[in-house]
Structure 1
C-alpha cells in the first residue's frame, strides 16, 4: 500500500518574516527574510515526493520503499508537546530535547532532527529554519526535535565532533525517532536531519551512521574531515549541502567549504543525489533558507529515486544553489 498522504498545505505561499540578528558564539549570525511553505508534490503519486511512482524506480508502480529495522523505544517515551522535554534512553543519561509539535498532531508527518552549533543551543533550530517554516512542518503533522548536548560531551556539543566514539548522540536520535513514531505517528519514510557548524558535522555523521533509515539531510557549514562509512550504502538518501564559500572558516583552520565538498563528492560517488549551495557569507547561518530546506525534505522521503530535483532545482530556491 502507498504511504499515507501528508496533510495538504499551500504550495509556495510566501509569508514575510523578520528576525533580529543573533549569534551562537562562533560567528554565526543572520536574519530570516521570509519562507515558502513546503510543497507536498501532490501532482505526482500522492506520496508527496512528486516522482509519480510508488517505489521511485520510474515505472509507475510498486510499493513505497520503507526503512527496515527501525529503532524501538528503550525507555519510557515522553509526551510529545512543544517545549523542553526529557528523553530517557536505557543505556545513556537522560537528555533534554527541544520539541516543536502541533497542537493536534496527526499521523503521517515528517520528523526533523536539528543539531545546534558550538556555544549555541537547541533553540537555534527556530532561527535557522524560521518560525513560519516550523509552523508549516508541525501543521502538516510533523515534529522538529533539537537535542541539547550531553553534560560531559567535551568542548564541542557532539561526541563525534570531539573525535569520540561514544554513541550517546546517535542513541538519543534513535530514541527520538522511535518515540516520535510511537507517540505521534510520524511517517517512518520521513526522517530528516539538519544542523549548523558543529551541528552540520553531526548532521553528516548521523546521516552516515543511520543511513538505514535517514530520508534526506541538509547541512549548514558541515561536511566531513574524512570519508565516513555508510551504515547502509544501498539507501541513496539525498542531501542539500550549504556552505558560506571560501571564507566559511572557523578557528582560522577549519574550512567548511572544503569539508562540505568532501561529503558531496563521497555521496555522489555512491550514487546519492546531492547538491551544494554557496551563500558566500562565510561562517554564518544564511537568511531565508529554511523554506527551501523544508521543501527539499517534503520532496525527498526515504528511497526517492530519481530525485524530483535531478534535472533542475525549484525556481524559488536560492540562486546560489546548483546541481
Structure 2
C-alpha cells in the first residue's frame, strides 16, 4: 500500500547539529562555549520591555513589525521598504533561497561555513556549490567567482566566517562583486559584524547602496544577546526586500522578540561597550593560544577555530572534562565561543596541555 512521500530532496537534507549544553560536574561550574552565545545578561530595560509584551500574549504579533522596522530604519538610515525581519538571520537565508531559486538552481558558498546553508539549499531543492576556504580559513573569493555558472542564482558570503573566523575586506568584496553577474544575488551574511576589528572592514550598508543585487543579513542573536527570541533582519534594495517579505512566515517574529529588539536598539551604545569587552577577551584568548603554540585563524567573530582533523573528538572530550563544552565538527576542527573569563581561562589551559601532547 502506498503512503504519502516527501520530495526526494527531503531525505538528502543534512541535520543541523546544535551546540551541546555543558555537562554538569559536581563542584565545578560548567560553561557552554558551543553556540556563540553572548555571555552577558540582557541589557537594562530589555527585560522590562519583554515583560510588557508578555501581557499581550493572547494577541497575535504585529505581522508588519512596524515599530521594529521604524527602529531599524532610524538606526541604520535606510528606508523601511528596504528591510525584512525574520526568525534570526538563518530564517532569512531560508527565505532568500526559497524566493530566488528554482529546483536545480545553484547556490555558491565557501566551505566550511555556516552549516545551515546546505540545509536551506537542499530544502528548496536547489544545488549547493561548495568552494573550499583557504588554508587560513578565509573565503577564496576568486574561486567562488569562477564557480558561478549559468545555473547560479545566489552566492553566500559569510563575513566573519562561521566557524573559521576571518572576515573579508571591503576591497576583496568590491573586487568579488565586480566579477558577479548582475542577475546573481549576493548575500553578505553579517551575523557577527559588531565584533569585527580589522583594517578595511566591510561597510555593508554602503555596499548594498551601490549594488542592486546585494542583500545584508544580520541578527540580534549574537552581539545583542537575544538568541532565545529569534529575530534577525535583512537590508536590501526594495524589490529584494519585498520578495523576502512575500515568503515570510506570517506572525513569525513574536511580540516579545520585537519588543526586545527595539529596546536593544535604543541601548545600542551600551551594547557596543559590552561587545568591546568581548573583543578584548577574544584578543586575550588568542594571545594565550598563540603563546601556547597554536596558529589559529584570525578571529573576527566571538569565537576561535581549532583545525584538528581526526583529533577533533578527543579535543572536545578534553574540554568537556575541564567543564567547557565546545562545538566539534567531526574530522575537521572545533569552534569555541568567547565566554566568561573563567571559561576562557580553562580553554587556554586545555589548549596549552593539548599543544604539548
Q: Scaled by the length of structure 2, what TM-score is found?
A: 0.27
Larger radius of gyration: 2
The structure with more helix, counted as a fraction of residues: 2
Ranked by relative contact order (alpha carbons within 8 Å, sequence separation 6 or more), the top structure is 2
